[in-house]
Each structure stands twice: as structure tokens, then as C-alpha cells.
């Protein structure tokens, strides 16, 4: 799974120092099952080239990797590893590493820190205009050592940071390999990774459902209910415009077609339980 929005506000920690990643609202499947690749496979090597087409407008800007800043539509879990590196840099320096107002300023900041991208990294950028821009702004760039701006960080922390923040997604370690880093050895448990490998793969079958007007209507009704629980809705108006007439939309949970017994589309939706004109107030 690609989380696509790793940042400090999505990392929750309790008094027992248990860390939980939150907000999977824009997460997506990453391609082939992780078990098909060795644990030390680079995060971007297995799934960037053959992964699904995804929007590049993901990940909060300060934690967005250079390939997304350049508009790539195919990417893998390496985007999360870059974000994790940005979070680590922020923990060590007490400030975001690349806090800039737009994507071009972000790329200039990354060039100033990491130096020019390698030929392999440039080959992975899908937009030729972005490649020309990077070549222009990095022609005479020299990398800045992390130790210069993070003098209080340990050598082990800086070594892991430099592994995570790489131009080329294929050079970033996978999460399992990063957890096995020497700096994290006191907190690393091989059993944790074994349990993760045995866990069932997350299914995104619902993304294959073709949306129609009913889906959008019910989503809008949910939004109205969340914002104004007492707002009156009138069913006859929806029926007059042809909305909610089609009962052959595939059930999102099973992939099977809905039946006449299904109230309208989604039996578990509050708006489709015993829905009649008599139960809905007139607007």
C-alpha cells in the first residue's frame, strides 16, 4: 500500500510510545504483493514502472518527493520513504527540511541539499520539461552535508536520513530494510516484519466499480447529513430527475448486482432504509 500522505500530523503516538500511522484516505495499492520481492528491495524498484496511473497531486507539499513534484503519474512506495525521510529530518532539526511555497521552489531547495540528480534519476522523470528545468537549476549545484545543518544528530541518524532522501526512488530502501537499519537496531524486532508479511493483503476492489449518478448522490447526501443532520430532504424531487431509479448498480461490497430487496443501492446507508416520501420532510 502507498499511503501518499506521510507527515507528522498523520503519525500518532501514545504515552507508551506506540506509533500508529493515521489517515489512509488517499492511500492506494502499490502493485504486486510485497512478499514477491526480497525484504531489502528498494522501495521504488518493484512497482514504479508497472504500477497504476496515479495523480501526482498527492502528499502534503513539504513531504512530497521530487518525482511527484515533477508530475510523475506512475510511482510506488518509495514516495512514502521520501516522506519518512522528511519527517526524520524534521525530528532531528526541529523544522521542516524543505518548507517552500511552491513545487519549483521545493525542487530548488532539494537541489541545494542533495546536489544534481543522477542520470538514472532524470531518466525516471516522465515530463521532459521537468527534466530540462532540473538540468538548468542543478548545472553547478553541490550537495550540502546533512551534518552541516544537523550538527547535533548522530552519525547513524544521518546515515539513515541520507538513504531515505535520494533523488532516485530505486535507491531508497523499502520500509522493511529501513527498519533493519543499524541506527534502529535497539528498537527493531524481526518478528514484527514476519507478522506483517503473513497478514492478508489489503483489497481495493471498490476502486474497480464504475460510479454513476447514484454514487455521487449518496455521497452528497452523506456530506449534507454530516454538516446539517437536521436538513430536510425530499425524495420525490430526486425521483423526478431520474435519480435513484436504476437498481442494477453493482454492490460495492460484493461486486454482485443489487436486487429488488435492496432498498435502493446500499442497504446499510441511512438514506436507503425504508426511504419513502412520508419519511422525508419537504424542503
Q: pLDDT band for 238, please (50, 70, 90 cuts).
A: low
> 3-class DSSP state for residue 206?
helix
The span from the CA of 32 to the CA of 47, in Å, is 7
**Positive or negative: CA dihedral 241, 246, 249, 254:** positive
Instruction: Give the chain's mean pLDDT.
Output: 77
Between residues 78 and 228, the one the model is more confident about: 78
Tens digit of each residue's pLDDT (9 = 90 or more) over 38-69 = 444 466 544 455 556 777 777 889 999 999 99
Tens-place pLDDT, residues 215-225? 677 777 777 77
Higher local confidence (pLDDT), 197 or 48: 197
Tell me the percentage of the chain whose pLDDT exceeds 70: 69
In angstroms, the CA 7 to CA 4 distance is 9
**Lowest pLDDT segment from 31-35, 93-97, 151-155, 259-263:** 259-263
pLDDT tens, 249-262? 344 444 444 444 33
265-276 pLDDT, tens digit each: 333 444 444 444
List of domains in the chain: 8-203 (1.10.510.10), 206-279 (no CATH)
pLDDT digits (tens, 9 = 90+) for 136-149: 999 888 999 999 99
Q: Which residues are catalytic?
A: 5
- Close Cβ partners of 4 (under 8 Å, ≥ 6 residues apart): 26, 27, 28, 54, 58, 59, 79, 80
What is this structure's pTM? 0.69
- Distance of alpha carbon 229 from the chain centroid: 31
* Confidence tier at 30 by pLDDT (50, 70, 90): confident
**Helix spans in 70-127 (H):** 78-93, 103-114, 119-123
Amino acid at each position: 500500500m502507498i499511503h501518499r500522505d506521510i507527515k507528522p500530523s498523520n503519525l500518532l503516538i501514545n504515552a507508551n510510545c506506540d506509533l500508529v500511522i493515521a489517515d489512509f484516505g488517499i492511500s492506494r495499492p502499490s502493485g504486486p504483493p510485497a512478499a514477491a520481492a526480497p525484504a531489502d528491495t528498494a522501495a521504488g524498484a518493484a512497482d514504479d514502472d508497472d504500477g497504476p496511473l496515479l495523480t501526482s497531486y498527492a502528499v502534503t507539499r513539504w513531504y512530497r518527493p521530487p518525482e511527484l513534484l515533477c508530475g510523475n503519474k506512475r510511482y510506488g512506495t518509495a514516495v512514502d520513504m521520501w516522506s519518512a525521510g522528511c519527517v526524520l529530518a524534521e525530528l532531528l532539526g526541529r523544522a521542516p527540511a524543505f518548507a517552500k511555497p511552491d513545487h519549483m521552489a521545493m525542487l530548488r531547495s532539494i537541489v541545494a541539499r542533495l546536489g544534481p540528480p543522477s542520470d538514472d534519476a532524470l531518466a525516471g522523470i516522465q515530463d521532459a520539461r521537468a527534466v530540462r528545468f532540473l538540468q538548468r537549476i542543478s548545472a553547478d549545484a553541490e550537495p550540502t552535508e546533512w551534518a552541516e545543518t544537523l550538527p547535533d544528530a548522530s552519525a547513524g541518524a544521518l546515515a539513515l536520513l541520507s538513504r531515505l532522501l535520494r533523488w532516485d526512488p530505486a535507491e531508497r530502501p523499502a520500509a522493511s530494510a529501513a527498519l533493519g537499519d543499524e541506527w534502529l537496531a535497539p528498537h527493531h524486532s524481526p518478528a514484527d516484519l514476519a507478522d506483517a508479511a503473513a497478514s492478508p493483503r489489503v483489497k481495493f476492489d471498490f476502486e474497480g466499480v464504475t460510479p454513476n449518478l447514484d454514487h455521487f448522490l449518496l455521497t452528497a447526501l452523506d456530506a449534507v447529513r454530516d454538516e446539517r443532520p437536521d436538513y430536510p430532504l425530499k425524495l420525490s424531487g430526486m425521483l423526478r430527475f431520474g435519480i435513484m431509479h436504476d437498481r442494477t448498480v453493482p454492490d460495492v461490497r460484493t461486486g454482485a448486482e443489487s436486487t429488488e430487496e435492496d432498498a435502493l443501492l446500499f442497504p446499510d446507508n441511512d438514506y436507503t432504509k425504508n426511504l419513502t416520501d412520508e419519511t422525508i420532510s419537504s424542503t
